[in-house]
Structure 1
Amino acid sequence: MKILLIGVSGTIGKAVTKRLANNDEIIAAGYSNADVIVDLGSAESIKKMFEQVGQVDAVISTAGVANFGSFDQLSDDEYQLALNNKLMGQVNLVRLGRAYISNGGSITLTSGVLSREPMIGSTAVSMVNGALESFVKAAALEIDSFRLNVVSPIFVKETMAMMGMDTEGGLSADDTAKAYVAAVTGSMHGATLDAPDHVN
């Protein structure tokens, strides 16, 4: 398969690439350090990316920016960043990318566990994660030429370690990547794949 992977330089993106690269052609896209440069916050940039890459069998997004911050302190700009980048950036991958997906192909987006298990400081992140999961469920009802799903990772052990957090409740990037492989190779459509459910 020819797979366009957005967010290739991130912890999860690297792990997904490693899992798929042996059998599939990976086109690496990202904000920097990638074969194809794309800014998820810009619809024009997303459009140019697809024009440059052309037809693909699958699109995987492990990208998207949203800030943590207390409800009292989150600014308009921080809410807008989450909405423009992690939410609409990934929505636009579907809206603008659908014409470039091979018949029977797939698009896999990324939300996160905070949509359903919020924590203090996660207001903006939880908001866009929940919206992405609802978008996928609804949009899938009107899409029949390719499959659309979203992976919901929990905290990744490698990221937790970098942040000085206890890694006990996390999942490794390699195990997280298994959910993306399942989304690309499976038959589900309109589903939210919780990463821990796909470890084995």
Structure 2
Amino acid sequence: MKIVVIGASGTIGSALSETLEASGGHEVVRASRRGPVVVDLARPESIDEMFDAVGTVDAVVAVAGSGQIARIDASSDEDYFRGLEGKMLGQIHLTRRAAHRIADGGSLTLTNGISTFSEPGLSFAALVNGGLGHFVPTAAAEMPRGIRLNSVSPGWVAETLEKMGRDGAQGTPVAEVVRAYVELIEGTGRGLVVEPGVPATS
């Protein structure tokens, strides 16, 4: 398959790209804000430009963007809502465009994330992740031409926690997260929101 990985320069995206190329033998198009193929989900027009550049593809995976870490009493709206255009609305813009640009029977896999946190500063991330988690099962039923829409909810990734100087044991290894994406890309499920290590729900 010809697969576009958006966010291919990140921890998950780079590992996913390598796995798809090595294990699946797929043709991977690496896209990011500063990659070989440029795309910024916060700019809907750049999504159109990306599809114009790569042509018809069999699958698209979005692993770009993250929820803002800011308390509810953040000093400004900009501080609190940063990331809304990129992670949440950006993936919705991507879904609407992918409905016209992915090949018949292809797939689109988004990334949301866990929506319940036990530490302060993550209420906006919970909003974005929870919203996407509810969007996917409903929007999947509206996708045309047999295109499958799913999402992965990776939560904290062990390697990311370690880079932050935190205990990696509290997260999920990137290899396990990547396996969840691959199973959705190569599988037949639709409307699934998969949390690595936890049975899928629809």
Q: Normalising to structure 2: TM-score of the pair?
A: 0.92
**Over residues 39-60 of structure 1, what are the superposed CA-to-partner deviations in whole Å (9 max), with x where a residue is unaligned?**
1100111111111111000000
Residue aligning to 2:31: 29
Runs of 4+ residues over 4 Å off in structure 1: none
**What is the identity, as a one-letter code, of the residue corresponding to 2:12?**
I
Q: CA deviation at 1:15?
A: 1.1
Answering whether residue 48 of structure 2 is matched by residue 47 of structure 1, we say yes
Report the secondary structure of 2:28's partner residue: strand
**What is the identity, as a one-letter code, of the residue corresponding to 2:100?**
A
**Over residues 62-81 of structure 1, what are the superposed CA-to-partner deviations in whole Å (9 max), with x where a residue is unaligned?**
00133101111163113443
Q: Normalising to structure 1: TM-score of the pair?
A: 0.93
Partners of 2:118 and 2:56 lie apart in 1 by 37
Q: Show structure 1 runs of 5+ residues with no match.
A: none
Answering whether residue 141 of structure 2 is matched by residue 141 of structure 1, we say yes
Answering whether residue 18 of structure 2 is matched by residue 18 of structure 1, we say yes
Q: Show structure 2 runs of 5+ residues with no match.
A: none
19-28 vs 76-85, which deviates more? 76-85
Report the secondary structure of 1:108's partner residue: strand
Partners of 1:178 and 1:152 lie apart in 2 by 12
Say if 1:177 and 1:193 are closer, same or farther in 2 by CA, change over 3 A.
same
Residue aligning to 2:106: 105
Q: CA deviation at 1:125?
A: 0.8
Answering whether residue 155 of structure 2 is matched by residue 177 of structure 1, we say no
Number of matched pairs: 196
Answering whether residue 129 of structure 2 is matched by residue 129 of structure 1, we say yes
The answer to whether the Cα contact below 8 Å between 2:81 and 2:124 also exists between their aligned partners in 1 is no
**Over residues 177-196 of structure 1, what are the superposed CA-to-partner deviations in whole Å (9 max), with x where a residue is unaligned?**
00100110111111101112
